[in-house]
Structure 1
Amino acid sequence: MRYQQLNHDWNADPNAPEPHLTVAGQTVQLEFYLNAFQFAQFQEGDKACLTFRNCHKYSFNTLNDEGYYRGQHRYNDQQLPWGEFYELFTDWQTDFPQDAFTLGSVAGSTQLHQFVFFLRDNTFECVAESWDFQRS
């Protein structure tokens, strides 16, 4: 399986990221607390927001690290390490969680990407044209 880690100088708080998902049309935003333990540029209580534009579909479920290591995800730690934000290079039309919400068609869009973000008690996945990271 091919993937690329996208969060090299930030990550979600490992203990209480308290993710909050907002959906408006085909824009999905995921807000969370940042990891101030590992990254000195952040202080406890700092937040960030990932924004996904022209999002075709997403899944936000309660799969946590314990479930991941017990084999409750379609990948294992040898294929995709837990705890980071990745772009996946798979066929998202067949390789996506069953609990997905579809937001709109993909007609006219040639640049869709599949993303996954492992948080402490949740897993977020989406198929979207683009993403950006901003500190809140």
Structure 2
Amino acid sequence: MTSSSDEDKQNQNANNADTVGRDKSNNSENNNNSNENKSTGLIASILDRATKSGFGRKKLNPNKVEAAVAKQMDQIHKSPEKIRLTVLGGGSFGTAMANLAARNGCDTTIWVRNKRTVKSMAKTQMNKKYLPGYKLDNRLKYSYDLE
């Protein structure tokens, strides 16, 4: 038979152990939270400095870029050969890019996998599904065969 003082000591020891365990878990949670805050803060400060300083980017003068593009476009237009392009895919973006290239003088073919769609596009000069109501350039060629 144990005395009441022995039971009190055992209960007190159990309570102390529980308190120590909770303190350790709280400390580890606090450490994890502070580590997460430190890493988030570190990443945020790096990104903030990079975007402010333009790190990794050349600062370009828009006038020089425009002049260089104009010079290259003149060389392309003066070239005796036409640029030949084939655009794979007759979705909205592919159709728009192919039409733009054809309109700018490139020998352009748009490839679409569905034969019926190709025939419809060639006949109506329109992509009814993706660009309805927009007339395509008459120099644009259409194909459903990749060979």
Tell me whether the two structures share a fold, i.e. TM-score over 0.5. no
Structure with the higher helix share, 1 or 2 = 2
Give the TM-score normalised by structure 2. Answer: 0.21
Structure with the higher strand share, 1 or 2 = 1
Please identify the structure whose Cα radius of gyration is greater.
2
